[in-house]
Chain A
Amino acid sequence: MDDSVNLQRLEELRKMILKLACGDFSYRVELNNKQDDIASFGLMLNLLAEELGSFLTHPNAFGEKDLQKPYALLIDNEFNIIGANWIFINLLKYSKDKVINQPIQNFIHSNSYKNFKKQVRGDQKDTQYALVIKLILIFLPFNSAPIDCWGYCYKLTSFKKSYYFIRGLCILNHINSFEGPISSQSFHTQRVNTVLQFQADIQKIRAVHQFILEHLHEPLPPISTISRLFHINEYKLKKGFKELYQITIFKFHLEKRLDQAMVMIKNTPTSLKVISYSLGFKSFPHFSRVFKIKFGSPPSHFRKNNS
């Protein structure tokens, strides 16, 4: 009996690996309370899917910068929109009252609608795996060209009523494929003219990223020093870092320090000057100036609000 159960659970892991290989990062291994190797592999595969999903759905960004905020909407069982965030409202370019309580059909392409219905209805048969469905949707904004989006649809059930919660992002303009942002075509597009041709270089740049994070309290060493330290040429380091994280080394170092400064300002009584020096800023006026550029107000404003 145990053997057959374990075989089934192993089959689940294989299924998960195949899903990952096909680029479906929304799939999760179903977990139970068992504490064994199969369960731990299942959990780690779930985490891996989460990490890969966060990287690959924002190509080349590693979750660092310029990430789009997701649209989100809630649909009832009759496919009427009963709630949406402002990003979705802005996306459609209608006023909120013209979107809420309206059928989703009014705002998406007919093929997209059919496909959506088919997928969510089809999955009802197999309730065990009906938790998340990956969708490609074409929204029809007011007076504008259709927008291709991908999204994950979560089925929620409450008091015998079903709801569909969809969240996702617009597919980037340069990606025309309907297979989603992780299609081979999109990668091909991304890799043209790239300096990141080799895994070894990517790993070195990731190490530089971690090095910067571990030395946020110090001024940034010259790029030439960093490149010597990590055995990578200066041009490749600068260009590769920008490609991988969508931000320059200098700006990344600055922004991370400012983020940390903000946490300190808001949550500790430490003087602003001490915070600025402890994060490697050479002078308080310089810190204050760059802080204001990033957050819109000087550091003292957040301290006052806090107190």
Chain B
Amino acid sequence: MNFLKTTYAEIMLKDGVLFFTYLPISNFDIRLAEQIVRDRLLIQKEQAYPVLCDIRNVSFPDVKARKYLAIEGSLLTKAVAYVVVPYMSTHLTRFFIEVNQPLVPTKIFTEKSEALLYLQKF
């Protein structure tokens, strides 16, 4: 299995990168964060991957979800590249990276191609 579609995201494993494309979510809470980690680990089959996370559609997770994603969400990830829309989500993602401090290298991009280039290092 290299593809999983859930109610909140499409997850695809391709060329050694895990592509995580969020669908619109109204309530991003700790339960959803746990579900995300569960589904990601299911598709990864014990392998660690760099992750490209397209969050252009998603609302921001609440504080508990952010803390969970920063720690447990880093399990079996080598690095994370967030693809965001240029303005608002850039600031929000920066807030997540600086305040909640994910455990793996994490960067924000507005272009998918740049994000992929960054992930190639891992």
Query: Which A residues have a C-beta under 8 Å from some C-beta of B?
Result: 35-36, 39-40, 43-44, 47, 50-51, 53-54, 63, 210, 213-214, 216, 256, 259-260, 263-264, 266-270
Q: Contact at A44–B95, with CB atoms within 8 Å?
A: yes
Q: Contact at B75–A264, with CB atoms within 8 Å?
A: yes
| B52 nearest CB across to chain A (Å) | 21
Of chain A, the residue at the smallest CB distance from B71 is A213
Q: Contact at A256–B99, with CB atoms within 8 Å?
A: no
| B15 nearest CB across to chain A (Å) | 22
Given the interface pairs A50-B63, A63-B67, A269-B46, the reply to whether A40 lies near B41 with Cβ below 8 Å is no
In the complex, B42 has a CB within 8 A of chain A: yes
Of chain B, the residue at the smallest CB distance from A262 is B72
Of chain B, the residue at the smallest CB distance from A62 is B67
How many residues of chain B get a CB closer than 8 Å to chain A's CBs? 24
| B120 nearest CB across to chain A (Å) | 23
When A and B form their complex, which 4 residue pairs have the shortest distance between CB atoms, in order from nearest?
A267-B41, A35-B87, A40-B91, A50-B63
Of chain A, the residue at the smallest CB distance from B67 is A63
CB-contact partner of A264 in B41, B64, B91, under 8 A: B41
Chain A residues with CB under 8 A of B31 = none
Chain A residues with CB under 8 A of B60 = 43, 47
Chain A residues with CB under 8 A of B1 = none
For B60-79 the 0/1 string (1 means CB < 8 A from A) is 10111001000110011000
Chain B residues with CB under 8 A of A210 = 101
In the complex, B38 has a CB within 8 A of chain A: yes
Q: Contact at B46–A268, with CB atoms within 8 Å?
A: yes
| B77 nearest CB across to chain A (Å) | 12
A39-B88, A269-B46 are known contacts; what are 4 more A-B pairs with Cβ within 8 Å?
A51-B99, A54-B63, A263-B37, A268-B42
Complex A-B: 13 CB contacts under 8 Å: A36-B87, A47-B60, A47-B92, A54-B64, A63-B67, A263-B37, A267-B37, A268-B41, A268-B42, A268-B44, A268-B76, A269-B46, A270-B46
Q: Contact at B95–A47, with CB atoms within 8 Å?
A: yes
Query: Which B residues have a C-beta under 8 Å from some C-beta of A?
Result: 37-38, 41-42, 44-46, 60, 62-64, 67, 71-72, 75-76, 87-88, 91-92, 95, 99, 101, 103
Given the interface pairs A40-B87, A51-B63, A256-B71, the reply to whether A214 lies near B103 with Cβ below 8 Å is yes
Main secondary structure of the interface of A (DSSP, over half): helix
Chain A residues with CB under 8 A of B42 = 267-268
- How many angstroms between the C-alpha atoms of A267 and B35 in the bound complex? 10
Q: Contact at A40–B75, with CB atoms within 8 Å?
A: no
| B13 nearest CB across to chain A (Å) | 15
Q: Contact at A50–B62, with CB atoms within 8 Å?
A: yes
| B38 nearest CB across to chain A (Å) | 5
Chain B residues with CB under 8 A of A216 = 103
Q: Contact at A40–B71, with CB atoms within 8 Å?
A: no
Q: Contact at B72–A259, with CB atoms within 8 Å?
A: yes
CB-contact partner of A260 in B72, B88, B92, under 8 A: B72
Chain B residues with CB under 8 A of A213 = 71, 101, 103
- How many angstroms between the C-alpha atoms of A270 and B116 in the bound complex? 28
| A46 nearest CB across to chain B (Å) | 9
| A182 nearest CB across to chain B (Å) | 16
CB-contact partner of B72 in A214, A263, A270, under 8 A: A263
- How many angstroms between the C-alpha atoms of A36 and B88 in the bound complex? 8
| B109 nearest CB across to chain A (Å) | 18
| B6 nearest CB across to chain A (Å) | 14
- How many angstroms between the C-alpha atoms of A106 and B92 in the bound complex? 44
- How many angstroms between the C-alpha atoms of A175 and B76 in the bound complex? 43
Chain B residues with CB under 8 A of A50 = 62-63
| B106 nearest CB across to chain A (Å) | 12
- How many angstroms between the C-alpha atoms of A43 and B60 in the bound complex? 10
Most buried by B among A35, A36, A256, A267: A267
CB-contact partner of A44 in B62, B63, B71, B91, under 8 A: B91
Of chain A, the residue at the smallest CB distance from B99 is A51
- How many angstroms between the C-alpha atoms of A269 and B44 in the bound complex? 11
